[in-house]
């Protein structure tokens, strides 16, 4: 199988139309600290997991002259995410760790915040602003089963942590231990996840870019799958990048689907997922239309990718709206319109097809 993603995606700035959208829907915020401020760390140490493996994160530290201000401002960021900026809770917060990751495109900072009253802790992330990532977050918020909490301005994006077991770790360590019924349920959820990523053009769902969330329900454990990385929203030109089934890291799940589900079951779950996404589109229609207006005016890919993707999707759907598209926003608009019109009709897609 050819490598699907060959090089890193550039960062794209926030356009005026996207800024207006973010202001209108309370995503835009003035921040007390910016991504660039956190880059001024004096040193770092590698963070290892419980098995002494490199996690690809480094724990950074700052000079005494800067630490006090950084510590306080990170607590203020936490209040912006969780209490609309109400600073009365700052007294009860402690910044336990600031970690930095150079792996991947966004190079995020991960902030660990602890409540000193009960030792509960959580995380949030600080990243460099990228409009394609913002589009990805907003589309996930409206079209997936999950609400996302994030704030942004021209230079800095803050995201609430999405809890779950990283897909690569789950596949390696936990999937072999799952019961037959659990594997069948995970197979069902993965078919739905695969379909959802495809219709809303979220790319690069390799195993470490999504999490598996176990939920205890009466006498069973059910599993949900959530994307956690939105960097590759509508950028790549190959349609297969937007279909997680084609990444080699996901092949254990694909083989399990082939073993556990019939073709009729797979089509049933695709219809179910397309139906619920279509309903989400219709219930959020005004907001999605405003987002698409800004997306159509935002340069979030290169011309070569645009031409390749619209041709590949046209060949797949035979819908002329794709071939006429002049931006990734128009492709996304065509995709959502196509779904609303045709969500009951399933075109067979073989898993593991080259």
| C-beta separation of 191 from 270 below 8 A | yes
Q: Are residues 140 and 185 in the same domain?
A: no
pLDDT in tens, 22-70: 999 999 999 999 999 999 999 999 999 888 988 889 999 999 989 999 9
> How much is the pLDDT for 342?
84
pLDDT in tens, 254-264: 999 999 999 99
Residue 237 lies in a domain: yes
Q: Are residues 311 and 169 in the same domain?
A: yes
Q: Are residues 149 and 49 in the same domain?
A: yes
d(CA 235, CA 232): 6
Q: Would you call 48 exposed, middle or buried from its count of C-beta atoms within 10 A (0-12, 13-18, 19+)?
A: exposed
| C-beta separation of 27 from 150 below 8 A | yes
Residue 8 lies in a domain: no
Residue 317 lies in a domain: yes
Domain boundary (160, 176, 197) is at 160
Residues 147, 153, 155: CA angle, nearest 5 degrees: 120
Residues 137, 226, 36: CA angle, nearest 5 degrees: 45
> How much is the pLDDT for 2?
52
> How much is the pLDDT for 354?
38
Residue 227 lies in a domain: yes
Q: Are residues 320 and 196 in the same domain?
A: yes
Residue 76 lies in a domain: yes
| C-beta separation of 105 from 231 below 8 A | yes
Q: Are residues 238 and 327 in the same domain?
A: yes
Task: Count up the domains in the chain and report the number.
Answer: 2
Domain boundary (144, 160, 176) is at 160
Q: Are residues 136 and 171 in the same domain?
A: no
Q: Are residues 275 and 139 in the same domain?
A: no
Q: Are residues 192 and 231 in the same domain?
A: yes
Q: Are residues 59 and 113 in the same domain?
A: yes
| C-beta separation of 79 from 91 below 8 A | no
Strand (E) or helix (H) holding 309: helix 303-317
> How much is the pLDDT for 306?
97
Q: Are residues 68 and 174 in the same domain?
A: no
Domain boundary (160, 191, 218) is at 160
Q: Are residues 239 and 338 in the same domain?
A: yes
d(CA 38, CA 33): 8
> How much is the pLDDT for 39?
96
For the entire predicted model, the pTM comes to 0.93
Question: What b-and-e string marks burial along 135-168, b requiring 16 or more CB atoms within 10 Å of the CB?
Answer: bbbbbbbbbbeeebebbbbeebbbbbbbebeebe
Residue 347 lies in a domain: no
Residue 349 lies in a domain: no
> How much is the pLDDT for 1?
41
Residue 67 lies in a domain: yes
Q: Are residues 69 and 130 in the same domain?
A: yes
- Mean pLDDT, the chain cut into blocks of 10 residues (354 residues total): 67 96 96 96 93 91 94 97 91 97 88 96 96 97 96 97 96 95 96 96 96 91 96 95 96 96 94 95 96 96 96 95 97 96 68 42
Residue 308: which domain range? 165-342
């Amino acid at each position: 199988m050819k490598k699907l993603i060959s090089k890193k995606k550039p960062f794209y700035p926030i356009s005026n139309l996207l800024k207006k959208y973010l202001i209108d829907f309370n995503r835009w915020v003035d921040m007390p600290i910016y991504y660039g401020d956190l880059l001024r760390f004096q040193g770092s140490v590698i963070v290892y997991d419980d098995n002494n493996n490199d996690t690809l994160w480094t724990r950074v530290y700052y000079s005494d002259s800067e630490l006090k201000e950084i510590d306080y401002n990170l607590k203020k960021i936490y209040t912006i995410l969780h209490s609309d900026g109400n600073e009365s809770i700052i007294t009860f917060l402690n910044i336990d760790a600031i970690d930095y990751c150079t792996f991947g495109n966004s190079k995020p900072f991960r902030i660990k915040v602890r409540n000193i009253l009960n030792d509960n802790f959580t995380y949030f992330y600080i990243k460099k602003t990228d409009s394609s990532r913002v589009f990805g977050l907003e589309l996930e918020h409206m079209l997936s089963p999950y609400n996302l909490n994030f704030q942004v301005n021209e230079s800095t994006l803050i995201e609430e942590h999405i809890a779950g077991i990283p897909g690569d770790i789950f596949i390696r360590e936990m999937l072999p231990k799952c019961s037959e019924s659990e594997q069948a349920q995970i197979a069902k959820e993965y078919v739905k996840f695969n379909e959802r990523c495809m219709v809303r053009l979220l790319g690069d769902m390799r195993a470490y870019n999504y999490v598996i969330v176990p939920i205890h329900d009466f006498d069973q454990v059910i599993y949900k799958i959530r994307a956690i990385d939105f960097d590759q929203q509508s950028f790549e030109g190959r349609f297969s990048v937007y279909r997680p089934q084609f990444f080699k890291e996901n092949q254990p799940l694909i083989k399990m689907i082939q073993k556990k589900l019939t073709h009729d079951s797979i089509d049933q779950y695709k219809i179910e997922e397309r139906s619920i996404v279509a309903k989400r589109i219709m219930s959020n229609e005004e907001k999605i239309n405003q987002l698409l207006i800004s997306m159509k005016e935002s340069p979030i890919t290169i011309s070569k990718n645009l031409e390749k993707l619209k041709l590949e999707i046209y060949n797949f759907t035979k819908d002329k709206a794709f071939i006429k598209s002049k931006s990734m926003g128009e492709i996304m608009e065509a995709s959502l319109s196509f779904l609303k019109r045709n969500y009951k009709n399933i075109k067979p897609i073989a898993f593991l097809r080259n």
